[in-house]
Chain A
Amino acid sequence: MAPRKPRLAVFKFASCDGCQLSLLDCEDELLAVAGQIEIAHFPEATRASVRGPYDLVLIEGSVTTPSDAQRIRKIRKQARHLVTIGACATAGGIQALRNFADIEEYVRTVYASPQNIATLASSTAIADHVAVDYELRGCPINKHQLLEVIGAFLAGRRPQIEDASVCLECKRSGRVCVMVAHGTPCLGPVTHAGCGALCPGYARGCYGCYGPQQTTNTAGLNRRLRQLGRNDRDLIRVYSTFNAAAPAFAQVRNALENPDD
């Protein structure tokens, strides 16, 4: 009898669907992947669903409701390996801007009948709730990195994903630095690699889709951004997007908002 194919499951929490779409965007590899693994639960792709346990579980999205906080614990029990994909799952996503605001006021702003809303005051990363075996960054993730992660876990090895900055990717690709040459503000020096330094390639500064790199010198970058004419409010904005609640970015915001602490 042929050995059982490894079982893959994909679950969604609060998110835009883009990171799991990245798997369907692997047009050249999709059928090969489907041949090597059993897609046991992936509602975006198939109405067939097999119960756990699963060999590899991919989680997209952040935890924002009481029921989702329970759901992720149940999923963890079914998962041999659990990998979170994208800025929502690894840092809370853009919806984590609520963490810095008054959630009651947010609810009143958006909802006609606020009493019907059950939401948590914060949007949090999956790793704040359960043990996570690997976090793949990005808003959205890089689909080639996703294939590497899936392949690595199925082969029983660590994913080979570079842990450098966008700045390094950019230098290596031979691009002219947009900040040095044109004075364009750029988060490349503090942002995790993975996108291939896309924005400088389009004459734009990095805006931080992949979240903070492991060791960031935000103080040094902020000095430079101020020299380029950016004030406190501008700095808060640039760090407060898709990875606003990632600790290294949240610290910058908190320090700027509460300078006396």
Chain B
Amino acid sequence: MPLKTRTIKVGELARVEGEGALTLRIRGTTVEQAQLQIFESPRFFEALLRGRDFSEAPDITARICGICPVAYQMSAVQALEAALGVDPGPEIANLRRLLYCGEWIESHALHLFLLHAPDFLGYPGVAEMAAEHGELVNQGLALKRAGNALLRVLGGREIHPVNVRVGGFYRAPSVAEMAPVREELAGLRAAAEATVRFAAALDFPQLAPDYEFVSLRDELEYPMNRGRLISSRGLDCAVADFNQHFIEHQVEHSHALHCRRDNGNAYLVGPMARYNLNFDRLPAPIRRLAEELGFAPPICNPFQSIVIRGLELLFAIDEALRLLADYSPPEPAHVPLRPKQAEGHGCTEAPRGILYHRYALAADGSILCAQIVPPTSQNQLRIEQDLQAFAQNHLALPDAELQWRCEQAIRNYDPCISCATHFLQLYMDRDGC
């Protein structure tokens, strides 16, 4: 008798950034295939960047993703300054770290409260969740608002900030302009700690894959804007050597390039990787809180990434307050640049994990070629492996429940499909609209 075949299909994944679909093919008692399909439309950023001036790259690449535009700007300026042989100095580095804190706070609060928590509490979305958990949702919105306030004062606006340039900032805000956001953030520290406690008390489905974690590692700081690339299996390389250790390639069923280690294995980037590899770089109060709640590393269950996002949210608030405490506007706000023929590499920690940029410049500063490797395309293979393992262990669940849990397993990664698929698109029929 032929084995019974069961297919679980989600035509349009919800509460992720961008458009993706999920297909699980189950034959008898075996999950034969788990696919994260992506039907984002092609936008050809690498092609359209050619011929543009290097100074345009931060504004153009920001448009790859409305959720993490700062990450694109930060990786772009790092790569281009490396190419031009310029170091804008510690004050501008601190201001960039402060801007990144704003994006981490906003993005983590968005994901934790609006996109991920509804899975744990059993709601289709935040509007329904708010009806019964109003205080929780308001707390999340307040945290998100504070992240956006920081982005607004330092970047000019929360989506596609206007103030970032290669060499620094167009204008450093005054101490008086920064004061209200400092006050707002200080008033939310308790809410952020409560968020961690809330997340730590959730029920987590079981899953413990054997991950290779990859993140930046800095000598002093919890990584954002600088560091070497390291992994839990011994990788330790300069950012400029990214292409020697990570290989992008096209697979037929996917619309985004898959990225693998040079040995062919999948790897994981993002909060869980950063946290497990850099726990010792977190301030003592955050380490103590994590230990008190039983979340000291290693954390290997991807469903628990919501707790790590909570800890990073709290960290980003503390870090922003630290940077704001002795803030004075750097003068000048940017350093001079001279175009030259060169190549440069940049890698920073987007909320979802490492984001790599490489640019080759002509003598007049025009971009000859660009390469951009976003976190979600790096995680894509790992997401599929998680799905397969998770579904295999939960085949007894009815279809609707299994489907929801698999969606949740994808949302563990906070996938940003807009980012992942600016490269690649395969044609796919869509039913209805």
A, B bound: yes
Known: A27-B141, A110-B46. A47 touches B14 (CB 8 A): yes
For residue B219, CB closer than 8 A to chain A, the reply is no
Interface residues of B in 262-282 (CB under 8 A from A): none
| Separation of A12 and B423 alpha carbons in the complex (Å) | 18
Given A47-B124, A202-B163, A203-B170, also A14-B53 (CB < 8 A): no
Please name the residue on chain A nearest to B110 by beta carbon: A24
Tell me the interface secondary structure of chain B in the complex: loop
Contacts of B162 in A (CB 8 A): 198-199, 202, 204, 207
| Contact between B41 and A13, CB atoms less than 8 A apart | yes
B358 within 8 A of A: no
Contact partners of A22 in chain B: CB under 8 A: 159
Is A237 a contact of B250 with CB atoms below 8 Å?
no
With both chains docked as a complex, state the minimum distance between the C-beta of B117 and any C-beta of chain A, in angstroms.
13
Q: Does B82 contact A (CB under 8 A)?
A: no
Q: Write the nearest CB–CB distance from B59 to chain A, whole angstroms.
A: 7
Which of the 9-residue segments B305-313, B319-327, B425-433 touches chain A? B425-433
CA distance in complex: A207, B56 (Å):
10
Which residues in A have their C-beta under 8 angstroms from that of B14?
43-49
Task: State the Cβ distance, B238 to closest chain A Cβ, in Å.
Answer: 26
Give the contact stretch, choosing among A62-70, A148-156, A251-259: A62-70
Name the one of B56, B138, B156 contacting A237, with C-beta atoms under 8 angstroms.
B56
Interface residues on B, range: 35 or more
Contact with B along A208-241 (1 / 0, CB 8 A): 0100000000000000000000000000010001
Q: Give the total of A residues in contact with B, Cβ under 8 Å.
A: 71
Query: Does B69 lie at the interface of the complex (its beta carbon under 8 Å from any beta carbon of A)?
Result: yes
CA distance A144 to B394 in the complex (A): 45
A34 located at the interface, meaning its Cβ lies under 8 Å from any Cβ of chain B in the complex: yes
* C-alpha spacing A209/B157, complex, angstroms: 12
Q: Does B158 contact A (CB under 8 A)?
A: yes
The 0/1 profile, CB within 8 Å of B marked 1, for residues 168-204 of chain A is 0000000000000000000000000001001101111
The interface bits of chain A over 89-100 (1 if a CB of B lies within 8 angstroms of the residue's CB, else 0) are 000011101100
A residues within 8 A CB of B50? 109
- Are B418 and A16 closer than 8 Å at their CB atoms? yes
What is the CA–CA distance of A111 and B141 in the complex, to the nearest angstrom?
Answer: 40
List, sorted by A's number, 26 A–B pairs whose CB atoms are closer than 8 Å: A16-B63, A17-B65, A21-B159, A31-B130, A31-B134, A34-B127, A34-B130, A42-B125, A45-B14, A45-B114, A49-B12, A65-B41, A67-B427, A68-B41, A75-B433, A94-B60, A95-B43, A95-B48, A98-B47, A107-B44, A110-B44, A117-B42, A140-B157, A204-B165, A209-B160, A241-B60
Q: Which residues of B contact A (CB under 8 A)?
A: 12-19, 40-48, 50, 52-53, 56, 59-60, 63-67, 69, 110, 114, 118, 124-128, 130, 134, 137-138, 141-142, 144-145, 148, 156-160, 162-163, 165, 169-171, 249-250, 252, 404, 407, 416, 418, 423-430, 432-433
